[in-house]
Structure 1
Amino acid sequence: MAEMLMEDQRILVVEDEYVVAEAIERTLTRAGAIVLGPVPSVDQAMALLDRGERIDSAILDINLGEHKVYPVVDRLLAQGVRCIFATGNDIADVPSEYKEIARLEKPVDGSSIIGAFKKIDVILGRSVAKLAHHAELRKLRAQLIGQIDTADGIHEPLLAARLYEAVEAIDQYLKD
């Protein structure tokens, strides 16, 4: 029997390929984890998050059908959840704000998953704090875009221009 390396850890699995999801679930269960899911879509992952259950970690595929998993990752990081991508995506295809998330190439094996979670524990504080900060800035950016639309709608071009300057400042910060 596998060593109970992740005993009582609640791990969300977001994967749209059944066979891969099942293999990840088996690996985590053998290591003592409590698996949440697996869920195959962004909508189902968000619904699971809306339930408010404790989640310690997540292993996520980037491509879920026609959607990307990034909205789920943003919510998880904002809650301080450690995340790992299990994907076939090339690192160059991952947006810069997610580059620090551990990435396992498919097909993943059990020891890679367990090893990645152990490695994350070493750098968790720095990475999660930075990524959560970026997620909050992206939310603020979206709010500012809404306010720009409102300012344009009430014919306040100067206000819209000032708000747009704030959006540009956020974009520049996120790019660096």
Structure 2
Amino acid sequence: MADMLMEDQRVLVIEDEYVVAEAIERTLRRAGAIVLGPVPSVDQAMALLDRGGRIDSAVLDINLGEQKVYPVVDRLLARGVHCVFSTGNDVADVPSNYKGIARLEKPVEESSIIDALKKTDTNAGGPVANIHKHTYLLQLREQLTVQINMADSIHEPLLAARLYEAVDAIDQFLKV
């Protein structure tokens, strides 16, 4: 019986190659994880996120058909989900704001997936710390968007405009 390193951890798998998705799912289940998915597309991943529920971590392929997984990554990071890329993409192809996310090159060894999901960064200025700052800003942006919708619904355009300014400031900071 496999070591239960990830017992009761809810792991989302986003992968469009069936054989690869099955291998990742098998690896995670043997480690005791509860696997969500696998899902093969950005649309299906977004639908799963819309349903809510706890997600502790995610293993994501960057290329999903003609789409990139980055909109899903942004939502996951905004929720504080630990992400790991499982991809054939070169590190140079990953946008700078995602450089701190662990990148496993396909074909991925079973132990590498578990190790990457369990790894934490204790260095306050390290790449995971930067991801946490990015995550915090994405969470704040999501909360502001909700408040903008509320301000619009109660006919408070000045409040909505000020909240939009805050969202714009976050967007500018995230582009740096």
Normalised to the residue count of structure 1, the TM-score between the two structures is 0.76
Give the equivalent residue in structure 1 for 2:157.
Answer: none
2:102/2:116 contact within 8 Å kept:
yes
In structure 1, C-alpha distance between the alignment counterparts of 2:29 and 2:122, rounded to whole Å? 23
Which residue of 1 is the match for residue 32 of structure 2?
32
Give the equivalent residue in structure 2 for 1:43: 43
The answer for the alignment partner of 2:71 in structure 1 is 71
Partner of 2:129: 126
AA partner of residue 2 (structure 1): A
Give the drift of 1:130: 2.1
Separation in 2 of the partners of 1:170 and 1:137? 11
Q: 2:2 touches 2:30 (CA, 8 Å); kept in 1?
A: yes
CA contact (8 A) 1:96 1:175 kept: no
Q: How many angstroms does 1:27 deviate by?
A: 0.1
For the 8 Å contact 1:102–1:120, the answer to whether it is kept is no
- Check whether the contact 2:121–2:129 (CA below 8 A) recurs between aligned residues: no
* Counterpart secondary structure, 2:6: coil
Q: Quote the residue 1:106 is aligned against.
A: 106
Structure 1 pair 81–169 and aligned structure 2 pair: CA distance change class (3 A): closer
Q: CA RMSD in A?
A: 2.7
Bigger-Rg structure (1/2): 1
State the alpha-carbon separation in 1 of the partners of residues 128 and 101 from structure 2. Answer: 12
Deviation of 1:132 (Å) = 1.5
Partner of 1:3: 3
Q: CA deviation at 1:174?
A: 3.9
Whole-Å separation in 2 of the counterparts to 1:42 and 1:30: 26
Paired residues of 1:83 and 1:102 also in contact (CA < 8 A): yes
Give the structure-2-normalised TM-score.
Answer: 0.76
Displacement, 1:129? 1.9
* Corresponding residue for residue 145 of structure 2: none
Say which structure is richer in helix: 1
Q: CA deviation at 1:117?
A: 1.4
Query: Cα 1:170–1:79, aligned 2, differ >3 Å: closer, same or farther?
Result: closer
Number of equivalent positions: 153
Q: CA deviation at 1:125?
A: 6.4
How far did residue 7 of structure 1 move?
A: 0.1
Please name the residue that 1:81 is paired with: 81
Post-superposition shift, 1:109? 1.3
Q: Which residue identity does 2:129 align to in structure 1? A: R
Cα deviation code 1:97-130 (max 9, x no counterpart) = 0000000000001100011112236569624422
